[in-house]
Amino acid sequence: MLYRFMEYQRAMFAPFAVWAANAASAFSDHENPLSQIPGAPAFATGYEMLSRLGQTYDKPGFGIAAVEHNGRVIPVVEQVVLERAFCRLLRFAPEPVTLGAAASHTRPAVLVCAPLAGHHAVMLREVVETLLPEHIVYVTDWIDARCVPLVDGPFHLEDYVTELQAFIRQIGAAEPLHVIAICQATVPALAAVSLLASADEPTPRSLILMGGPIDARRCPTAVGKVAADHSLAWFQQNLIYTVPDRYAGAGRKVYPNFLQLAGLIAAQPGLLVASHWNYYLELALGDYERAEALRRICDAHHAVLDMAAEFYLDTIQIVFQEFRLARGNWFVQGQPVRPQDIRATTLLTIEGDHDAISGCGQTHAAHGLCRGIAARDKRHVTARRCGHYDLFSGPRWHSEIYPGIRALTRQDI
């Protein structure tokens, strides 16, 4: 019933939100006479605030048409490489004509494993943009579970692992591959590479794990404590709802987006407040170009997908309650997950010392599990004064995180 009530509420506020958005546009559009009256930016800001109270945040697109590099504008081509029920594999690459054939062949491929933990993959837009000038970039673009028909079956945590295995096989067969996994994605990414190694299949050149709960027992955060303090039945009874009839996934059990958004805001309230405050400030000052860029960031934070119930409950149980990866007793489709079997892959782990989502030491735990990797092929970075979202966006991503990733992915070029 809660899901249906939220849908009724959205429908009721929708006309009001549209009206307020149109009013905000009228006061900010330089070609509209209303934008010339005294205080127009303040009116635009007020109406924009009102519109966002009733706005529905659909999945935003990456919208990367070009990137700048060394004073050049490089056109970018986005394409869907694989499309499955719960995930699309996207490929971003500079136009070959712009670079020349030789330059295209020297660009390493990077698979960015986006977390399936609330936000859409577009939250990693800055990562993709930063990588693009010198890499071919693939991204796991997870589908909102409310859009997946029941006939497509369930989606479990081990299905995430097998999807990554398939993607790694496909990309790695054609070009040198590096894997970057962020937040929740670190666990299935490490499992996928471990299973490939155990089967004597080729593994990526490097595995880069950023801010993820490889061992959530270390420096537990509020996220981990909530999982540990409640039974699996409690999560099922209080956080799982049925998708209403208006969606393609009607009847599917999910952890709905509105509950996830409430949890994300509770975990990082300052982040959302700061992003909106900066947006409204630029809007009030009349810098609409800068405000537009900040609006995209705010929209990305608000756009949250429904998670398949079985995937969410698996994650709670396997990652945050039983710590199966860290304890060495996780099986995926009957096969043991053995990180110690990885040998031909360089490991880089990255953490932020102010990460309120994945505490310090949780990601570094991968070093102890990957005993088969030589010490010379293991690296770790702890970024100072760095929160969770700083790991993949903002100045610390550019100045402290990315340089180490670039050095690793391009060392053989």
For residue 155, give the CATH number of its domain.
3.40.50.1820
Residue pointed to by tokens 């996220």: 223
* 94: three-class secondary structure by DSSP: strand
pLDDT computed for residue 111 by the predictor: 98
209-219: per-residue pLDDT in tens?
Answer: 999 999 999 99
Do 132 and 223 belong together in one domain? yes
Q: Is residue 358 part of a domain?
A: yes
Do 310 and 296 belong together in one domain? no
Q: Is residue 61 part of a domain?
A: no
Provide the domain limits for residue 281: 2-56+257-302
Do 200 and 310 belong together in one domain? yes
Cβ neighbours of residue 132 closer than 8 Å, sequence gap 6 or more: 64, 67, 74, 76, 92, 93, 94
Number of residues that this document lists for the chain: 413
Q: Is residue 244 part of a domain?
A: no
Do 348 and 206 belong together in one domain? yes
Which comes out higher in pLDDT, residue 215 or 101? 215
Q: Is residue 248 part of a domain?
A: no
pLDDT band at 54 (very low <50, low <70, confident <90, very high): low
Do 226 and 371 belong together in one domain? yes
Do 51 and 170 belong together in one domain? no
Q: Is residue 246 part of a domain?
A: no
Q: Is residue 130 part of a domain?
A: yes
Residue 100's alpha-carbon distances to 94, 129, 305, in angstroms, are 10, 20, 39
Share of the chain above pLDDT 70, in %: 78
142-164: per-residue pLDDT in tens?
Answer: 999 999 999 999 999 999 999 99
Do 229 and 317 belong together in one domain? yes
User: What's the pTM?
Assistant: 0.84
Q: Is residue 73 part of a domain?
A: yes
Overall domain count for the chain: 2
Cβ neighbours of residue 390 closer than 8 Å, sequence gap 6 or more: 352, 354, 383, 396, 397
Query: What value does the mean pLDDT take over residues 81-105?
Result: 78
Do 173 and 116 belong together in one domain? yes
Please determine, for residue 273, whether its predicted confidence score (pLDDT) is greater than 90: no
Q: Is residue 252 part of a domain?
A: no
275-284: per-residue pLDDT in tens?
Answer: 666 766 666 6
Provide the β-strand partners of residue 141. 88
